Structure 1
Amino acid sequence: MRFRWVWLFVIMLLLAGCQPSYWVLEKDRIDEGSPDLEIYTNYLQMHDDVKGYQVFTISEGKKMVVVSLGSREKDKKLEVSSVKFSPKETIVTVKRKPAPNANEKNPYILIGLDKIEGDFIVQDESGDRFKETDDQQ
């Protein structure tokens, strides 16, 4: 009987390890990403009207998505609500939260993804989509 439970546990671990995942990179660790990340986030603070997302390739082919709100929402911060992966699309949903002690001209979040498959969508909880920015830093 114990042998069955051990196998069940091993199978569960293997299945959990096969799922793509995401993480949020703390802003004070941005130098662990790629040099382009730091340049782009500095650019966002100088050009506070930029709202949308930009995708960067970081180590081992993983992706980092920078989502920014623009200066109109400088009293907000972003959190990840959900990330859904399927062969047809990857959907990142973020939510806005009040940030009474905000010190950014253009609030942003750094979301790491193991991979992006199919169409890539960044949206808020009400389904409004963010556009990919074409701003060059």
Structure 2
Amino acid sequence: MFIYMYLIGLLVGLGCYSLTYLFAKDTDNSRRVIVVFIIGAICLLGSLIIIGGFAGMPFGVLSVGIFTVSILLAFFGGNSLWKKAIYTIIISCVVLFVSFDYLNKVDYWVGKKVNYGDEVDLYSQQLQKHTNIKGYKTFTVSEGDKAIVLSLGEKMAGNNIEVLDVKEKANTTIIKIRTFYNQSNEKNPWIMIGLNRLKSNIVIMDTDGTIYKEVGKAD
């Protein structure tokens, strides 16, 4: 998220600089840069004073992107060739990053608790009989897709599981979840997460800091 906010900040900085040509055609480069810098400062102060805390951090990162543009244009904005180069490089980098991230994004889905196939069905039934099973187990389902069945254990009975995000980092698939109490009637709450691919290492973490290990390998 922070990378995206920085990239957005770069685009906002370029956009604000471009708008100065619309409202002040005869202004020199230094004043245009000052306008961009002030907008970045407003975003930074807003993230620190108005929003504050962790919630304000993304807007702080956005302001860094704006500051980056103001600094680059302060040094090179006086030359039209360098100015065009800055616009071209920044816009190209943003487009390439977004395209690469989109093409390499992990496709995942949360499966309904119906018939997935023999292995998953048998395991889901086993979870309700052996309620002490806590952690995840991987399966190969239809058309070679992968599936992870995560169970919380009997101590979390009555809870539900929500998948917040699935991403990859090097050779690791990282799954972030949230658990919450909703009077579920499952003795051992569980969820099936389908994925188009899995890395060799898997990390499943809850928002409360709990990290779930593979069944049979948990401490």
The TM-score normalised by the length of structure 2 is 0.50
What are structure 1's unaligned runs of at least 5 residues? 1-11
Please name the residue that 1:25 is paired with.
111
Q: How far apart are 1:122 and its partner, in Å?
A: 1.3
**Identical-residue share of aligned pairs (%):** 33
Bigger Rg, which one: 2
Match of 2:167, SS state, is strand
1:66 pairs with 2:152? no
Residue identity opposite 1:22 in structure 2: Y
Q: Which runs of 5+ in 2 are unaligned?
A: 1-97
Aligned length: 120
Post-superposition offset of 1:35:
0.9
The structure, 1 or 2, with the larger RCO (C-alpha pairs under 8 Å, 6+ apart) is 1
Post-superposition, which runs of at least 4 consecutive aligned residues in structure 1 deviate over 2 A?
A: 12-20
CA distance in 1, matches of 2:172, 2:214: 15
Name the structure where strand makes up a greater proportion of residues. Answer: 1
Q: CA RMSD in A?
A: 2.1
TM-score (norm 1): 0.78
Q: How far apart, in 2, do the equivalents of 1:15 and 1:129 lie?
A: 26
Cα distance, 1:52 vs structure 2: 0.5
Provide Cα deviations, 1:7-57, integer angstroms capped at 9, x if missing partner: xxxxx8997465321000011x2x1x2210000000000001111010001
What is aligned with 1:97? 180
CA deviation after TM superposition for structure 1 residue 62, in Å = 0.9
